[in-house]
């Protein structure tokens, strides 16, 4: 009887990049359960507020924005590259609602004007 080796998660073709503001993350772990790719885990280190913060394994991230949509503190930003052009997908969340914003050809000035709750 032959046994088939178990397959580990293989790196996915990166469609996006997720950035987490680790100093504002409160370590609720909601983003880790929303990530179907298993790309988000909790750090062993603590941020300045004393919370373990979320970290992303970019090789597994597909840029789906699930994590940013469920983040109650809005500390997750997702950048996505489409086949046509690069675009920023900024998902802004708070406890009451979430908003998806697409900005064509974003500049640092555009990003600095956005308010995050």
3-state secondary structure 37-65: CCCEEEEEEECCCCCEEEEECCCCCCCCC
pLDDT category at 82 given cuts 50, 70, 90 is low
- For the chain, the distance separating the N- and C-terminal CA atoms, rounded to the nearest angstrom, is 58
Residues 6+ away with beta carbon under 8 Å from 39: 18, 56, 57, 58, 59, 60, 61, 62
> Higher-confidence residue: 116 or 68?
68
Residues 6+ away with beta carbon under 8 Å from 9: 37, 38, 60
Contact 17, 78 (CB under 8 A): yes
pLDDT in tens, 4-32: 444 455 555 557 789 999 999 999 999 99
Domains and CATH numbers, the chain: 16-113 (3.30.70.20)
Model-wide pTM > 0.85: no
HSE-up of residue 102 (Cα within 13 Å, Cβ side): 8
């Amino acid at each position: 009887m032959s046994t088939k080796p178990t397959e580990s998660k293989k790196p996915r073709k990166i469609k996006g990049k997720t950035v987490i503001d680790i100093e504002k993350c409160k370590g609720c772990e909601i983003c880790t359960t929303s990530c179907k790719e298993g790309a988000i885990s909790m750090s062993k280190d603590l941020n300045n507020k004393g919370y373990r913060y979320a970290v992303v394994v970019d090789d597994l991230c597909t840029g789906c924005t699930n994590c940013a949509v469920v983040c109650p503190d809005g500390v997750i930003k997702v950048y996505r590259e489409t086949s046509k052009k690069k675009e920023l997908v900024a998902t802004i969340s708070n406890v009451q609602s979430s908003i998806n914003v697409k900005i064509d050809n974003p500049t640092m000035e555009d990003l600095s004007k956005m308010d995050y709750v």
